[in-house]
Amino acid sequence: MVLGYFRAIYVEFTNRCDVHTFIRCLIHGFEYFNGITDVVLTDRMKTVILGTDENRKPIWNSTFEDLAATLGFTPKVCRARRPQTKGKVESSIDFVKNNFLPGRKFVDYGDLNHQAIVWCEKKNRRIHGTTGPQTPAFFGQISKIPGRSKESPQRRPFELRRRKIWCSMAV
């Protein structure tokens, strides 16, 4: 996850790429940044959109759409075959691959993710080449970030649960 204005990054490694894992990682990213942005721009993956309608509007994955409605952010997807709309994230992936992963030793995903958080905190303190200011200036001052929602008392926590039911039952 990358905050577009400051280019601050949050990294989490998983062994799955389903919608529940994606949402869990997204929520962890919001927790890391102490808030939720007004807009969440994602790639055109099946965990976010199932396709487009005849007007080229996204057909949202219902679980992701529920998350957006519950947390109060506006979901947006990158335009197809337009890499310039997702350069911040793509360059951050290269940054992680080239600066965090080489030579890294870890026991399990928990250990790797702990190391990633420590690394993110260090890297988010750097003066970014594009944006200039040190990114940690925004920690603790969430409401001052452009595009950041103020905490709303109407919001309730989004809880993701898996249930097993008999084939003759309905949920």
For residue 132, the domain's CATH number is 3.30.420
Is the distance from CB of 167 to CB of 161 less than 8 angstroms?
no
In a domain, 4, yes or no: no
How many residues in total does the chain contain? 171
Query: How many structural domains does the chain have?
Result: 1
In a domain, 159, yes or no: no
- The amino acid present at 85, given as its one-letter code, is T
In a domain, 169, yes or no: no
Is the distance from CB of 22 to CB of 68 less than 8 angstroms?
no
In a domain, 135, yes or no: yes
Give the predicted TM-score (pTM) of the model. 0.74
Beta strands at 39-42 and 74-77: parallel, antiparallel or unpaired? parallel
In a domain, 166, yes or no: no
- Enclosing domain of residue 139: 19-144
In a domain, 1, yes or no: no
pLDDT means per 10 residues, the chain with 171 residues, are 81 93 93 88 90 93 93 89 69 86 93 94 76 54 42 47 59 53
In a domain, 115, yes or no: yes
In a domain, 170, yes or no: no
